[in-house]
Structure 1
Amino acid sequence: MIMERFMLTPRDVLRSVNESECGFMMREASSWMGFVLTLCFLISMLPNSSRAEQPRVKNVLFLISDDLKASVLGCYGDAVCQTPNIDRLAERSVVFDRAYCQGTLCFPSRQSFMFSKYQGVGPVNLGEHFKANGYYSARVGKIYHMAVPGDIIAGTDGRDHPESWTESFNSPGREAHTPGDFSCLNLNIFTTELAGRQSTQNPHRMFVAVEYDGEGVDQPDSKSATKAIELLNEHSKDPFFLAVGFVRPHYPMVAPRRYFEPYPWDEMTVPEFSADDLDDIPRLGRTGTVSTTNPIGEYPDNQKRMWSSYYATVTFMDEQVGRVLDELDRLGLRDSTAIVFLSDHGYHLGEHGLWQKSNLHEEVVRVPLMVSVPGINPGRSESLVELVDLFPTLSELAGLAIPNSVQGKSLVPVLENPQLEVRDSSLSYTGNGFGLRTNDWAYMKYKDGTEELYDMRVDPDQLTNLADSPGHQEQRDQLEALLHSRLKQGEIATN
């Protein structure tokens, strides 16, 4: 029997049965009670995953960090960065070790997973879907794209989709203009003066950090946590979809001084790099910021300060996540709430001499993703998953119909059995080309025809590009064919 997932009604069930069988059953159901019993029997024969009337969860808490690379979290193996609250959540979650974003900048990535579309928008988004099904749906902070720091300073909505929300709340802050020790690390500027700081639309804003004396309550992420706690209390008895967007560690890297103290800059270890590391990376495979052309390459100590500042803001963000999780527990909502934690994409901090995002290498496309569901055992999965999979996953967990427009796949089978796989590849893109990740290989194809190919089993740091290696042409051809197939299926523009 072929049935569209979660779209069945009792009438649909009867229609799906062979006419003669249905007629027989109806004749046997000589009374209303007989009909009801027959109908219950038919419904009981459906797979559990198809029963929208049996949700696993009442609520969803959707937590997202900005520009957070998976590799800096303790639960993903970093021994330096202190992330006790996210690590605590990981212990109660299924942690995905190979989760990949689709867009590699904030705007395309967030639009993609909120609509479960590889590119563009669909007729319904994630928040809107829950809202239409009777949920209180709220946004706190950055969920869709906001310009950071511009929209944060202004307290404006950015590219929000207001139809998503019952209510929405911004969390403004002073960002680079926060009084304190300002640094613009690629220009080697250190000052406490407020005038002349690199900020909104300035070309060097991505290398800015501010360390200041204070408790952090003035910072956007602290405000977002406070508002989220308030909303949890106000709506603890309502079914809710609460999306909380933290802006750190996105630049400018601003945090109170005590968050910098665990990370003395002179004790930071930075990725090894020499200029020839870029020789086998095509021009379109490099970010716009590279150590060989940006002044950051001239200041090795400031590269260490970049790591110190990034770690400091990750830890500050982690503390705000912890505040929200603690309140969820205090209110007794953990047993009825699915919790998702993710980032929109990763980040380069000098690997290959690259900085920031918007390229197809592992540090950018791989993201942290953990999902905690009442009644599902915690664990880890190496299954390939994509952020577009979150929309159908949360819909199934809540017992909602999965709209036909979504392009992701439900991860509920993987949550129940982390050894299962629902994909043989993940797909990511930039304005310059496309990337494909399989269990063992990473392949990139750029619009000028250049390519990258890495054997991730022996070269997880992607140091040796095998695209032109004579011994790997068959593998390259197979991956190119798979990429073309994925692009066609995903309705992604290739020109």
Structure 2
Amino acid sequence: MSNFIVLMSDEHNPLYSSVFGHPFVQTPNMERLAQQGTVYRNAYCPSPLCSPSRSAFVSGRRVHEVQAYSNCNVNLPNHFPSYGKVLKEQGVHSVHIGKTHVYAQPEELDFSEIHLAKKGKQPGDINFRRKPLAIRTNAADRAFGFGVKEDAFEGDLKVMNTALQWLEQTAPGLDQPWSLTINLMNPHFPQWNTEEFWNLYPQGEDLPRYGSEQESADHPYARDLRDHFETDLFTEAQIRGLRRGYLGNVTFIDRQIGRLLDALAESGQAEMTNLVYTSDHGEMLGKFGQWWKCSLYEDSVRIPVFAAGPDFKAGIVVDTPVDLHDVQASIFYATGANRPVDWAGQPLQEIASFDPNRVVFSEYHGHGTRSGAYMIRKGEWKLIYYMEAPHQLFNLKEDPDELSNVYAEYPDKANELEAELRKVCSPEEENQRAHHFQQEQLEWLESNGLLKSAN
């Protein structure tokens, strides 16, 4: 048995790392982690939005099971036990430090220890109405969120310092296996840097290679998101500044990975402790005219998964698709605990380097799109199945940037991936269930004077 650390950032698109070949972003500690362990090159989130993705990770359940469809936290079912509780009940000391943002309040998650987890204030994000589509008032003002702030990283540094202190002072005295989950907010927008990190990337003020002129930018769901966030109003200067700030925030996260690796090595705990770096979802960063997440396109739904420690071989690259459920399953594998059999995922430690038949599933029912959507990744193929728009099929080996929808050209492949989707859930039933649940949330908000009726 061994210990397990998950370091989870927020909104990190793995393509913005030197591990994935970015030409100038500085992520030497991600490279260091990759060299010491295994890179999972095709890793995905359960849903490209904070609360749904994190709720799935914490509960071991699909987003449609937990019904944490958006970042609104009103009337969410909260009876799902967390992995921290299940581990604790089996003698594994489970620790959570930093952001939770899940289906239940921090104290209800019942980890052995939980620190610096802010209590989620109700009602959370109320801009999730989909029919008619909510347009965020003055959403384009978000584009001013970049530049220099000397306190830009104070929150994350507090979390990281607390985690390192726990490793130094508490972990050595435990006589049982332990898990530690550390949650950092960066590189989530806004893209504020300290002066040191801002000055690293004058060359980062570039423009997306593929913008709103692309066919994929004009898909109805992409148009919905661009309208919802008013991203077509962003100026060129704002686009350049946001992209520059994002790189600084990624490098800040990389520094924290380095601090954690150093602490494990210096304390002698590295040989008995696994470490996985990951994120809750990606970031579009202007590709196809879209920003942030909420899309099932690669830049939004992909995440980094770099794993090192006694369970992971050094210098290995795994091409088989994986997801956050697999990361969570790895904690149970390492610590020797039994994981509920009905939870999604398989330990990373058991996944072959290349399995063309393994399927990964993601879904989105949140703000900014008219209806539900589902993703299936299998081998080099990816299906995005939309409830109220044309479906998309991409061959990611030939078209990694998703520029050409080949759904009509490969009907057999599209049908094969749709069949895989239907093994996970009925897209029609789950879409209807999500709309019904969200309508109840909206009615609650309206009855409590928190939201004006759309009628």
TM-score (norm 1): 0.73
Per-residue CA deviation, residues 271-297 of structure 1 (Å, 9 max, x unaligned), is 234544146743124562369953544
Q: Percent identity?
A: 25
Does the 8 A contact of 2:274 with 2:309 survive in 1?
A: yes
Does the 8 A contact of 2:144 with 2:238 survive in 1?
A: no
Matched, 1:166 2:121: no
Does the 8 A contact of 1:287 with 1:359 survive in 2?
A: no
Q: Which amino acid aligns with 1:225?
A: M
Determine the C-alpha separation between the residues in 2 that align with 1:136 and 1:201: 45
Matched, 1:136 2:93: yes
Determine the C-alpha separation between the residues in 2 that align with 1:280 and 1:354: 8
Matching of residues 355-434 of structure 1 within 5 Å: 355-374=291-310, 376-378=312-314, 379-414=316-351, 418-421=352-355, 424-431=358-365, 432-434=372-374
| Alpha-carbon distance, 1:213 to partner | 4.3
Does the 8 A contact of 1:141 with 1:245 survive in 2?
A: yes
Matching of residues 314-329 of structure 1 within 5 Å: 314-329=250-265
Determine the C-alpha separation between the residues in 2 that align with 1:113 and 1:250: 18
Matching of residues 214-293 of structure 1 within 5 Å: 219-237=154-172, 238=174, 239-264=177-202, 268-273=205-210, 275-278=212-215, 281-286=218-223, 288-289=225-226
**What residue in structure 2 maps to residue 86 of structure 1?**
30
**What residue in structure 2 maps to residue 48 of structure 1?**
none
Per-residue CA deviation, residues 283-324 of structure 1 (Å, 9 max, x unaligned), is 124562369953544x22321111110001111122122222
Matched, 1:75 2:19: yes
Q: Which amino acid aligns with 1:372?
A: A
Per-residue CA deviation, residues 371-400 of structure 1 (Å, 9 max, x unaligned), is 213153221100111211223222112111
Does the 8 A contact of 2:274 with 2:311 survive in 1?
A: no
> Closer, same or farther in 2 for the Cα pair 1:382/1:261, shift >3 Å?
same
Does the 8 A contact of 2:106 with 2:114 survive in 1?
A: no
Equivalent in 397, 412, 417 of residue 457 of structure 1: 397
Does the 8 A contact of 1:93 with 1:370 survive in 2?
A: yes
| Alpha-carbon distance, 1:348 to partner | 0.3
Q: Which amino acid aligns with 2:246?
A: Y
Q: Which amino acid aligns with 2:47?
A: G
SS of the residue corresponding to residue 129 of structure 1 reads helix
| Alpha-carbon distance, 1:112 to partner | 0.7
Matching of residues 14-93 of structure 1 within 5 Å: 55=1, 57=2, 59-93=3-37
> Closer, same or farther in 2 for the Cα pair 1:423/1:134, shift >3 Å?
farther
> Closer, same or farther in 2 for the Cα pair 1:425/1:171, shift >3 Å?
closer
Per-residue CA deviation, residues 312-355 of structure 1 (Å, 9 max, x unaligned), is 11111221222222112111110111111101011101111111
Equivalent in 360, 363, 384 of residue 444 of structure 1: 384
SS of the residue corresponding to residue 458 of structure 1 reads coil
Q: Which amino acid aligns with 1:255?
A: N
Q: Which amino acid aligns with 1:91?
A: Q
Per-residue CA deviation, residues 164-186 of structure 1 (Å, 9 max, x unaligned), is 322222278xxxxxxxxxxxxxx
**Unaligned residue ranges in structure 1 (runs of 5+):** 1-54, 147-157, 173-199
Matched, 1:354 2:290: yes
Per-residue CA deviation, residues 208-249 of structure 1 (Å, 9 max, x unaligned), is 1240347x6x61111111101111112222132111101001
Q: Which amino acid aligns with 1:406?
A: W
Determine the C-alpha separation between the residues in 1 that align with 2:405 and 2:431: 23
Does the 8 A contact of 1:171 with 1:221 survive in 2?
A: no
Does the 8 A contact of 1:434 with 1:444 survive in 2?
A: yes
| Alpha-carbon distance, 1:457 to partner | 2.1
**Unaligned residue ranges in structure 2 (runs of 5+):** 67-78, 119-135, 366-371, 433-455
Matched, 1:101 2:45: yes
> Closer, same or farther in 2 for the Cα pair 1:145/1:202, shift >3 Å?
farther
| Alpha-carbon distance, 1:430 to partner | 0.8
Q: Which amino acid aligns with 1:459?
A: D
Per-residue CA deviation, residues 432-490 of structure 1 (Å, 9 max, x unaligned), is 211111212111111115211112121110011122x3x322222222222222325x9
Does the 8 A contact of 2:282 with 2:293 survive in 1?
A: yes
Determine the C-alpha separation between the residues in 1 that align with 2:357 and 2:80: 25
| Alpha-carbon distance, 1:82 to partner | 0.9
| Alpha-carbon distance, 1:260 to partner | 0.8
> Closer, same or farther in 2 for the Cα pair 1:210/1:317, shift >3 Å?
same
Does the 8 A contact of 1:95 with 1:381 survive in 2?
A: yes
Does the 8 A contact of 1:138 with 1:241 survive in 2?
A: yes
Instruction: Count the aligned residue pairs.
Output: 391
Determine the C-alpha separation between the residues in 2 that align with 1:109 and 1:436: 16
**What residue in structure 1 maps to residue 453 of structure 2?**
none
**What residue in structure 1 maps to residue 128 of structure 2?**
none
Determine the C-alpha separation between the residues in 2 that align with 1:341 and 1:491: 35
> Closer, same or farther in 2 for the Cα pair 1:387/1:355, shift >3 Å?
same
> Closer, same or farther in 2 for the Cα pair 1:161/1:202, shift >3 Å?
farther
| Alpha-carbon distance, 1:86 to partner | 2.1
Determine the C-alpha separation between the residues in 1 that align with 2:428 and 2:326: 16
**What residue in structure 2 maps to residue 193 of structure 1?**
none
TM-score (norm 2): 0.79
Give the greater-gyration-radius structure (CA): 1
SS of the residue corresponding to residue 192 of structure 2 reads strand
